[in-house]
């Protein structure tokens, strides 16, 4: 028998509500800075790659350590605010991506558990339909559409011939 119930930990209704409220609070807190860029804008403004980030950081370091070497044409207060905001956002994005990865992993295990249980139920339905038990023939006909025989489908053992 295959592994089942790989993730039998479930959030309570209160914890789901708390998580949804926290996401809503985060969305509200960040609303003033979020911008929807068009694909063209993203291409135009998204050109700062890792090498360019190193360049920006080096200019930032020079401005902080030897301000007399910095261009007077740059608004250094705004530059520093942009730099700080960028670092704060990068840290938040990293944490959120970690949460998303963990949520996706948990969801994957729940999906697997659901699928394995559904296969067990389909096997039971196949058996009961073969005994002419009331209602199972219709259920079997309705479910067997998900097991169309072709080279790429996953066919439960009962359907292989």
Residue 2: which pLDDT band, with cuts at 50, 70 and 90?
low
Contact of 123 with 156, CB cutoff 8 Å: yes
Token output for 138: 């219709």
Half-sphere exposure of residue 40, counting CA atoms within 13 Å on the CB side?
0
Q: Where are the domains of the chain?
A: 48-145
Token output for 132: 């002419």
- Cα separation, 100 vs 96, in Å, equals 6
Sign of CA dihedral 94, 21, 5, 151: negative
Tens of pLDDT along 32-73? 999 899 999 988 888 788 999 999 999 999 999 999 999 999
């Amino acid at each position: 028998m295959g592994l089942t119930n790989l993730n039998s930990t479930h959030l309570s209704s209160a914890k789901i509500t708390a998580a949804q409220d926290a996401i809503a609070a985060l969305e509200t807190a960040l609303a003033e800075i979020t911008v929807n860029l068009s694909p063209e804008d993203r291409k135009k403004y998204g050109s700062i790659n890792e090498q360019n980030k190193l360049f920006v950081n080096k200019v930032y370091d020079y401005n902080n350590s030897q301000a007399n070497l910095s261009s007077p044409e740059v608004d250094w207060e705004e530059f520093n605010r942009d730099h700080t905001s960028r670092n704060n956002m990068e840290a938040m994005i990293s944490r959120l991506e970690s949460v998303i990865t963990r949520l996706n992993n948990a969801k994957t295990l729940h999906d697997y558990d659901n699928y394995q249980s559904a296969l067990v139920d389909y096997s039971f339905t196949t058996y009961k339909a073969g005994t002419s038990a009331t209602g199972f023939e219709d259920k079997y006909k309705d479910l067997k559409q998900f097991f169309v025989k072709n080279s790429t489908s996953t066919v439960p053992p009962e359907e292989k011939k």
